[in-house]
Amino acid sequence: MDEDGTASAPSAPSAPSAPRHGAATGKPPGVKDVAAAAGVSWKTVSNVVNGTGRVGAATRERVEKVIADLGYRPSLAGRQLRQGRTGILALAVPQIDSPYFSALAHETIEVAAARGYRVLIDETRGDADAERLVARGFDVRLIDGIVFSPLDLSLGDVDELRGSTPMVLLGERPWNPGGSLATDHVSIDNVAAAREATRHLLDTGRRRLAFLGAEPGVPARSGAPRQRGFVEELRAAGLEVRDPWLLPVADYSRRSGARAVEEVLARVGEIDGLVCGNDLLALGAMHVLRTNGVRVPEDVGVAGWDNTEDGRYANPGLTTIAPDVRGVAEAALDRLVAQVEQAGGAPEDVVVPHRLLVRESTRRP
């Protein structure tokens, strides 16, 4: 006997096959339609759908068959009212057409699905107003939590704007070792990774290095710690850091990489190595170098960042820093789901591993 008094004996008759409710009435079937067809109460149907209460095996099988026959879909709004959750998360990134962020979106969707959640994608384009809306939780209760990679706003800005929606931040901390964030944060160690890429170029015998990807005035973005690691490694090697070869860019795109290198072509003979803030900048730079007779890697070795597919199939193949994108998605979803399900403790700063992948673009001269 189920908790509502409905018999669940093995001899209970199977539910008759029924046409889909929508096809018969033009209206989607409801919980009462399922209950009537299965010969049970609406509460038993609710228990079967939500995995709650005591429902006998035969009754559960009968209800599930009717649900399939009728094409019944539980009300998301009703479930949200009962559980206080929607089962939907959001991922907000600056550019979904960026190879890194598209890979991150793919991994986030897969990881979320394994945890029983769906993911909606929001593209902010780095617009401050759009990012403020995300930071406030979209101002409506549509989602359970947000994984947010801000571009225009600093992580401290997001902390100040945050509402009650659970959130995990991706990206770089401002350089304030004494400060702390009130929000879970996931990143790779960009300073250490930049030092590894720079050290690799130095180990190939190159001594006149440039950095492509400086972002003046925006220390909270990823370019700043990458430039910092580049500078630290040069100084550790006793080499001069030449400001004219800390090359600024408008954004991290192929076009910006190409334009920046075009502007210094007249003096490109002064360098023999180029560390780029991401693979897109590196691909734009290599295109301009090759089309102007500068050989990669014989004249200039080039290293990128993000391990994009374009970089893997470039000619020459692009040496790159490879973040563990799956690891970023898993760490972010672990922290976010813990908040959503009220199982999380104090905010954590999670650092995900990375690798240096050496390919032909930095082959030893």
| pLDDT score at 233 | 98
Mind listing the pLDDT tens digit for each residue in 261-273? Answer: 999 999 999 999 9
Q: Lowest mean pLDDT: which of 66-80, 95-109, 219-233?
A: 66-80
| pLDDT score at 9 | 43
Mind listing the pLDDT tens digit for each residue in 18-62? Answer: 444 444 555 678 778 889 999 998 788 878 876 767 888 889 889
Name 288's Cβ contacts closer than 8 Å, sequence gap at least 6.
257, 258, 261, 262, 265
| pLDDT score at 124 | 95
Query: Cα separation of 182 and 184, whole Å?
Result: 7
Mind listing the pLDDT tens digit for each residue in 304-345? Answer: 999 999 999 999 999 999 999 999 999 999 999 999 888 767
Mind listing the pLDDT tens digit for each residue in 127-182? Answer: 999 999 999 988 767 789 999 999 888 887 888 888 888 999 998 765 455 556 68
Cis peptide before 174 (omega within 30 of 0): no
The alpha helices in the chain, defined as continuous H runs, are 21-25, 31-38, 42-50, 57-70, 76-83, 99-114, 128-135, 155-161, 190-203, 223-236, 254-263, 279-291, 309-312, 325-340
| pLDDT score at 196 | 98
Q: Lowest mean pLDDT: which of 95-99, 111-115, 276-280, 341-345?
A: 341-345
Domains in the chain and their CATH numbers? Answer: 21-74 (1.10.260.40), 88-187+325-351 (3.40.50.2300), 190-323 (3.40.50.2300)
3-state secondary structure of 209: strand
**Judging by beta carbons within 10 Å of its beta carbon (0-12, 13-18, 19+), is residue 32 exposed, middle or buried?**
exposed
Query: Cα separation of 297 and 353, whole Å?
Result: 27
- Residue 26 DSSP code: S
Q: Are 135 and 156 in contact (CB under 8 A)?
A: no
Q: Percent of the chain, pLDDT > 90?
A: 60
